[in-house]
Amino acid sequence: MVTARSGEITTVSEATFEEAVLGSRGPVVVYFWARWCPHCPMIAAVLGEIAAERADSLAVCKVDADANPLLTRGYQVMSLPTVLLFVAGQPVRSVVGARSKSRLLAELDDALRLELG
């Protein structure tokens, strides 16, 4: 069993994605990254802060894009880092590239307002 709402970034793979993300009762942020990506560490740090601050309302997961090509292609991830917001098992927002914490939160909160009211 995968516990995605821990206040930390949970690593998911093709084997655990359905349970952790698609089966989640609450919103899930999924971060696609790769070791070679120069901007991925910055967004990872931002998402780590968001995971800790929003642990009661938002899960944050990460997917190694190179190790999980079916997910990467399936969600049409063409550039890294890519952050997808899932609500009720559906991707509702895509954010490509590094963002400041305030800008990323604004985009996520905007999408959550639209989806959850």
The residue annotated as part of the active site, out of 37, 47, 59, 61, is 37
Instruction: Check if 61 is active-site.
Output: no
The SS3 assignment for 31 reads: strand
Residue positions counted in the chain:
117
Helix or strand or coil: residue 36? coil
**Pair 41, 54: CB distance under 8 Å:** no
Nearest 5°: phi and psi at 7? 85, 0
Q: Helix (H) and strand (E) counts for the chain?
A: 4, 5
* Among 2, 20, 28, 40, the one annotated catalytic: 40
Q: Which residues are catalytic?
A: 37, 40
